[in-house]
Chain A
Amino acid sequence: MTYTDRQQKRAEIRAMFKSNVRRRLWVDKIVVGTVIVCALMAIIPLIWILGTAVYSGVPALNWEFLTGKPGAVGAGQISIGPAIQGTVIIIALTSLIGLPIGIMGGIYLSEYGGNSRFAKQIRFFMDVFMQVPSIVLGIFAFLAIVLTLGYYTVWAGAIALSFIMFPIVARSTEEALRMVPWTYREAGAALGLSKMVITLRIVLSQAKKGILTGVLLSISRVGGETAPLIMTILGSNIFFSGFDSSTDALPLRIWRLSLQPYDEARIAGWGAALTLVIIIFAIHLGVRYFFLRDKSGKGLRGVLRG
């Protein structure tokens, strides 16, 4: 092989290498471009939805709409006062049932259960239960409570929703408690405190930020839930009138309004949707701003994402 031959061979290889690299870089660019398009395709609907909610919902919003009693549809003013009131009541009752169970469950998983087999099973079933189709919980609450009592009641809805709430709260409480350094507990034990006192006074108070985050996010999840409410609180046109009659809730009202063929109903539906979205996003952004700003909070959000 002469010198020029070798030179030629080298040039060939170099050209091959160059074209190969060029191809690979192109493929890389195309993939990155595709990936950006993917993100846009997810973000655009979100912005579109929020934009429509604001655009179509704002005209409906006024004091009468938010607080008044709904009149006859197609004839006059539609109002979502009872729906807002019902949502507040139902969230309060749901929290009354769901929070104690959830927080105690979280305490068990973090402080007592540890890595025992029982605790692992409970953790597993909570994760699975979090994803159970929510309408099934509604059916259960209907069969167990509405059928037994003989009337629609806000308690049935609250119990169905508490089934959604307590696993979320339990898992996020567990994560929050685990972040409290072990030495704090040892310090408490060295002072001769019982485990209950250590848990309640030291660990819980250290983890309250994390627990509150989980609680608020679970409330925002529960507040938008519609399916289980259809057969438990039914919806009504009047303000809350006792625990033995049907109640209204915002998501339920939105659904009912969407079924009506009137333009007013559609505008009112968007007004109600905007109200609901504002409430839920306020909780989310508030949590984000006050609790999750500096820390990554990875474990916690990991739970809530599931």
Chain B
Amino acid sequence: MAKQWFKRDEKEKKSLLSDKIFKFAAAAAGAYVLAVILIIVLQLGIESMPIWEEEGIGFITGTDWNPVPGRESFGAFPYILGTLITSAIALAIGFPLSIGIAMLVMIIPKKIGQPLGYLVELIEAVPSVVFGLWGLFVFRIYFRDLVEKPLHDMFGDSIFLFGGTPFGLDIMTASIILAIMIIPTISSISREVMMAVPQQQREAAYMLGSTTFEMFRMAIFPYSKTGLLGASMLGLGRAVGETMAVTMLIGNTTGLRAIPQSLFDSSQTMPSIIANEFIEASPVSLHPAALVGIGLILLAVGLSINVAAHFLVARMVKVNEGPIH
């Protein structure tokens, strides 16, 4: 009898130990993400140190880009600008479309709405390099001939936005492709956010005799504007970090020429210059450090946009019933 008790104790101890190990392993796997973020930031920071020492804050504000040894000079400003412009245009086009899709999915019967929502989700599944391929070989040609050239011929001289020579590899094409790519992100999040508006609010609006649009205007939009802002920022974050499609479409100019003069000018974004030049950069020069520095800026921009977006969305989805503030 006593022996058996003893045995059981051993067994229990063993299982307790394995339990502890398991718990520790799980917690370590959870904490892994923190370690990874920290290491990535540190690594990029250390490796880009030479360029910050060489150029200082001028690395952010400078416009030169000369990797020729002996005359090296690096400034990331045109690419930061290019990233911001393309993402902003993409958001300006993509956001209204996404909200429209989210509204449509909410108002049509579930039988049509669900497949439609799924179709939009499928856009996200298309790899960005395929978007790029399509943009490069198909969309660019049509867009150049049917939209850019007429606009350029009509307004090219009077409105600076339509100046330049329409070639198809420019800010506008890249932004439109980006806009399509960020639609699934924004529309699904904004639908979720609008769904989070209490059902009673919607019913109350209908009860007062409002039409569907008025219901959105009075009951849903005021309630969900924070969340919609967050959704659009998530889309912005996606646009900022998008690499392949933009690289294939933006024309890839460097230095001062990368600062666009019009919508039909080629340019360069932070991810695209990294994708284009990283492998060819000579390891003995400052060039790799400069590209890593751009990566660090990109990481900082991407992280801060996403952090802000998550706070906005989380605040919205948590909201409880009650009067509109």
Residues of A bordering B, CB below 8 Å? 24-25, 27-28, 31-32, 34-39, 41-43, 45-46, 48-50, 52-53, 56, 100-105, 107-109, 111-113, 118-119, 121-122, 124-129, 131-137, 139-140, 142-144, 163, 166-167, 170, 194-197, 199, 220-221, 223-227, 230-231, 234, 251, 254-255, 258, 266, 269-270, 273, 276-277, 280-281, 284, 288, 301-302, 305-306
Measured CB to CB, the closest approach of chain A to B178, in angstroms, equals 12
Q: Is there contact, CB below 8 Å, between A42 and B26?
A: no
Per-residue interface assignment for chain B, residues 86 to 130, with 1 indicating a CB less than 8 Å from any chain A CB and 0 otherwise: 000000000011111101100100000000101111111111111
Show 26 residue pairs from A and B whose CB-CB distance is below 8 angstroms, ordered by the A residue. Answer: A34-B100, A35-B101, A39-B101, A39-B120, A43-B119, A103-B29, A104-B28, A104-B30, A111-B26, A112-B23, A124-B310, A129-B37, A133-B302, A139-B295, A140-B44, A142-B278, A195-B22, A199-B22, A227-B128, A255-B248, A269-B137, A270-B133, A281-B122, A284-B122, A302-B192, A305-B184
> B117-154 interface mask toward A, CB cutoff 8 Å, 1 = contact, 0 = none?
01111111111111111101111000000000000000
**Nearest chain B CB to A152's CB is how many angstroms away?**
9
- B129-A135 in contact (CB<8A): no
A224 engages B180 (CB within 8 Å) = no
B285 at the interface (CB under 8 A from A): no
The docked-state distance in angstroms from the alpha carbon of A269 to that of B122 is: 21
* Contact call B241/A131, Cβ cutoff below 8 A: yes
How far apart are B152's CB and chain A's nearest CB, in angstroms? 23
In the complex with contacts A122-B30, A226-B244, A277-B127 CB distance below 8 A: yes
A140 to B291 CA separation, bound complex (whole angstroms): 12
Q: Which residue of B lies closest to A231 (CB)?
A: B278
Least CB separation from A257: chain B residue:
B133
B127 CB contact (under 8 Å) in A251, A258, A302: A251
Beta-carbon contact of B119 and A129 below 8 Å: no
Give CA–CA (A226, B245) in the complex, Å. Answer: 10
A108 touches B26 (CB 8 A): yes
B130→A128 contact, CB < 8 A: no
In the complex the two chains form, what is the Cα distance from A11 to B183 in whole Å? 49
Segment at the interface with A among B52-60, B72-80, B161-169, B232-240: B232-240
Residue-wise interface mask of B (9-31) relative to A, using a CB-CB cutoff of 8 A (1 in contact, 0 not):
00000011011001101111111
A53-B130, A135-B275, A196-B18 given; name 4 further pairs at CB < 8 Å. Answer: A39-B101, A170-B30, A276-B127, A305-B184
**Which of B211-219, B221-229, B257-265 sits within the interface?**
B211-219
Nearest-Cβ distance from residue B291 to partner chain A, whole angstroms: 8
Residue in A39, A48, A254, A280 whose CB lies within 8 Å of B138 = A48
**In the complex, A220→B124 CA distance in Å?**
11
Is B40 interfacial (CB 8 A cutoff)?
yes
Chain B residues lying within 8 Å of A131, measured Cβ to Cβ, are: 234, 237-238, 241, 302, 306
Q: Are B214 and A48 in contact (CB under 8 A)?
A: no
Q: Mark B286-323, 1 if CB is under 8 A from A, else 0.
A: 00000110010011001100110010000000000000
Task: Give the total number of A-B pairs whose CB atoms are below 8 A apart.
Answer: 269
Asked whether, in the complex, the Cβ of B26 is within 8 Å of the Cβ of A39, the reply is no
Chain A min CB distance to B207 (Å): 16
What is the CA–CA distance of A143 and B41 in the complex, to the nearest angstrom? 12
Contact B213 A28 (CB under 8 A): yes
- Is there an interface contact between B180 and A42, defined as CB atoms closer than 8 Å? yes
Contact B31–A122 (Cβ < 8 Å) = yes
Smallest CB gap from B103: residue in A:
A35
B interface majority secondary structure:
helix
Residues from chain A with Cβ under 8 Å of B39 in the complex: 140, 144
Distance in Å from the Cβ of B218 to the closest Cβ of chain A?
12
Q: Identify which of B32, B126, B128, B310 contacts A105 (C-beta below 8 A).
A: B32
- How far apart sit A121 and B137, CA to CA, in the bound complex (Å)? 44
Name the residue among B120, B130, B134, B188 with the largest chain A CB count within 10 angstroms.
B130
Flag if B122 contacts A133 (CB, 8 Å).
no
Q: Is B208 an interface residue (CB 8 A)?
A: no
* Pick from B33, B129, B241, B243: contact of A224, CB under 8 Å: B129
CB neighbours (8 Å) of B185 from chain A are: 305-306
Chain A residues near B250 (CB-CB < 8 A)? none
Determine whether the beta carbon of B125 is less than 8 Å from that of A284.
yes
Most chain B beta-carbon contacts within 10 A, residue among A136, A231, A306: A136
Whether B44 contacts A226 by the Cβ 8 Å rule is no
Hey, what's the 0/1 contact readout for B37-72 against A, CB within 8 Å counting as 1? Answer: 101100110010000000000000000000000000
In the bound complex, residues from chain A placing their C-beta under 8 Å from that of B47 are 143
| B19 adjacent to A196 (CB under 8 Å) | yes
The docked-state distance in angstroms from the alpha carbon of A34 to that of B23 is 53
Nearest 5 CB-CB pairings of A with B: A133-B241, A38-B100, A224-B127, A104-B29, A108-B26
Q: Shortest Cβ distance from A252 into chain B, in angstroms? A: 8
Contact A255 B131, CB 8 Å, known A42-B123, A135-B271, A284-B122: no
